[in-house]
Structure 1
Amino acid sequence: FDGIMHSFGSPMFKLMEVGLVGVILFHLFNGLRVTLIDMGVMVEKQKTLFVIAVIIWLGTWFAFSIIMLSKMGLLPFSV
């Protein structure tokens, strides 16, 4: 048990947590895009909606990553 708990504090596990947050955020924004398309909003602009969703996702993930990594002590500064 102690070995497993120790592995949760490893830098690799912390980076995987940041990756998991990225996957969850992408799922969120892509789901909103699909919902808009299913409702008939901007159906003809699917590629534009995808680009907008990816830009918002990357910006949000970058911000969350900076906050998470600084709180985990993996960055030389704190937020």
Structure 2
Amino acid sequence: MPRSEQANQQIRDERRRQILHVAAEIFARRGLAETRISDIAEASGISQGLIYRYFSSKEELFKVLIETSTNVTATGQEQA
């Protein structure tokens, strides 16, 4: 039996969180300029292509991290 759309969305949300978590660690160590999408892909165990399905560029990924961090700091909890 195929997965429901809700189950698929849950998988996509978890994958996105995984990418963001790994990217945050790598950006913190290396900085934006020295981090490559291939570094994030390798560390998270997923393909570069899949990362690009979620984020159009390294800069967009970094921007989402900053926005998420700002939302967490401002509200005290993570925004979805």
TM range (shorter): 0.3 to 0.5
TM-score calculated relative to the size of structure 2 = 0.39
Which of the pair has more CA radius of gyration? Answer: 1
TM-score calculated relative to the size of structure 1 = 0.40
Instruction: Report which structure shows greater RCO (CA 8 Å, sep ≥6).
Output: 1
